Amino acid sequence: MDKEKRVARSLCTLVALLLIISGALLIPWFYERYLAMGQCNEIGRKLAAEYEGRLTFVDLDSLMTGRDNSLFIDLAHMSEKGKEVKSQHVADAILRSLTHHKGAER
């Protein structure tokens, strides 16, 4: 498999995993796969490092996990406060990215 196809497959997998972690998908066997979450987070970090400067990566695991228990209602699902905090982290990253790209165009 060529590199582009591997990257595309990895990105598709990453998006699906982010949907699972964000609570957008409810999967009953999630708790049994808890240890795999750490591996998924590492894959995301490695892809972000490999494509640094070409994509915006928000490491929500590092930013949120273990910081404030009120952000989560269980291992995978966020409370309303957690959703607000997550949204703010993503919005901040988008704004930083836009500011960075505008500065680079000058």
Q: Which pTM was predicted?
A: 0.61
Question: E strand or H helix at 4, and its extent?
Answer: helix 3-22
Residues whose CB is less than 8 angstroms from the CB of residue 17 and which lie 6 or more positions away in sequence, other chains included: 40, 43, 44
51 three-class SS: coil
Domain map of the chain by residue range? Answer: 3-105
Task: Give pLDDT tens digits for 35-74.
Answer: 677 778 888 898 889 888 888 889 998 898 888 889 988 7
Tokens coding 38:
């750490």
User: Cβ atoms within 10 A of the Cβ of 40, count?
Assistant: 18
Report which of residues 3 and 18 the model is more confident about. Answer: 3
* DSSP for 53-81, written as a single string: TTB----HHHHHTTT-GGGBSSSS-B-HH
Please say if the pLDDT value at position 29 is more than 60. no
